[in-house]
Amino acid sequence: MQEWRDNNWDPEKSQGTVLKHIHLADYITSASDRAAIGSLSESVNYAPKSNQDLGLEIAHLLSGEKYPFKLKESEHQKLNDQSNRADYLNAREQALFSQLIKDVSDDTLKEIKEVSHPQKVFWWLWRCLPVSVCQKFGQDDSLLLMPAETRLPDGSIWSHASLTASLAGALAGYDLTSDEIKRWPSGKASSRPYLATFSFSPVQDFVKSSRKMRDFWAGSWILHYLSAKVSWKLAQLYGPDSLVYPSLFEQPLIDYWLLEQWPDFEKWIKCPRDRQIMTAGFPNVLVIVLPQDRVKAAMQTAKQTLLQEWQDLSRRVFNFLQTGRAQPWMPNLHAKSQTWDGWLDAQWQSYWSALKFRYFFGRRPNNSNCLNNESDNIRSQQVSQSWIVNALCSNSQLDTTPSTARIKLMTCDSSKSKRWKRQ
């Protein structure tokens, strides 16, 4: 982190090869947000003169229910009273990063921006910063819905920033060095993002074997728990932003484990209630954004975590059945017997696939080879005149070597939403 600040490495401003490549993350995310509605040139008026109290109308993505989004009156008045709103908001933004958390290296309280543990800082930015903004701006939880784009207000700036961060990590690669940032090696291929899907089955057969309502709940919760454990493991290795589906934000089990790992986050994360933890919700399909050289390792990790957690659950159940009751369930049954262990080993089948992101700038090229030259295509004058028009995925053979991934740190600018229009 300090090295990036010292060298002023900013993907939004730098003309360096790799930093411009990382900056594609914002364009790709914005294009994916707006691809369905084409080109819009006008913003929605936040408060038309005919109705100053209207606010910005947000629709629930599933129910379609409308919600008028606006600042609390007290905060709105403070903002209106400022002679320079930009300076006022920048000062309040800086105050957010002056809050204290424990630095893992020496167990002392430090400001967020001074903490030397990048993984903890990133988790705070991803999970606690949105809540902190709500707290600092009048305890207004509606700020979790703050739009990334006023013309398409149903998507929040937080989800936009999270997806941008995951794509930035995939575009940068997890082994990017300082020397490569300063001068990209001639002939070396840049990192490419992949969209990977991991799933496991059977699900319906596992649940429908239940005979009581309690069994239905237990079967659903076991599936939920196993999926949550796989998601937690992947988030620890590749960052919580990498999980596109399901979103890990405000998931009770994830919050519970996060508070176990870093208890000082309790100022921003409420400890989940028992009922929340015992409510099933995780799917058996996970979607994650990764650089190409991490896909196979991540999918292998997901499979191993699934099987290990399943075996751990089985040991707990077996010990309870055999020793935790007045009379053992089956006195002659052993944990390593073929009857018990063989059934456990054959229970789950896992599958995965991965698609490579393809993207280009400006008009759709006639020559398909242009798709592989997007880094050479990025010049400031081109970016200001011709925006990304599409983001595509295509099948690709993977040939990667599993290796240990490290958490990447990507600071996203959420203080403004960019206007996308043709110049």
Radius of gyration of the chain (CA): 24
Structurally, the chain folds into a number of domains equal to 1
pLDDT tens by residue, 122-147:
999 999 999 999 999 989 998 999 88
Alpha-carbon distances of 306 from 228, 234, 387, rounded to whole Å:
10, 11, 42
DSSP structural state of residue 241: G
> What is the DSSP secondary-structure string of 118-181?
HHHHHHIIIIIHHHHHHHHTTS-GGGGG-BS-TTSTTSBHHHHHHHHHHHHHHHH-TT--HHHH
Statement: residue 383 has pLDDT above 80:
no
Residue 67 forms part of a structural domain: yes
pLDDT tens by residue, 87-123:
999 999 899 989 999 998 888 999 988 888 989 999 9
Structure tokens given for 266: 């309790």
Residue 78 forms part of a structural domain: yes
Residue 372 forms part of a structural domain: no
Residue 5 forms part of a structural domain: no
Average pLDDT over residues 256-262: 96
Q: What is the rounded distance in angstroms from the CA atom of residue 46 to the CA atom of residue 58?
A: 12
At residue 350, φ and ψ (nearest 5 deg) are -120, 155
Q: What is the pLDDT of residue 45?
A: 59
Q: Where are the beta strands (DSSP E) in 274-324?
A: 285-291
Residue 136 forms part of a structural domain: yes
Q: What percent of the chain has pLDDT over 90?
A: 36
Residue 224 forms part of a structural domain: no
Q: How far is CA 209 from the centre of its chain?
A: 34
Which domain, by its residues, includes 30?
A: 20-182
Q: How far is CA 64 from the centre of its chain?
A: 24
Residue 71 forms part of a structural domain: yes
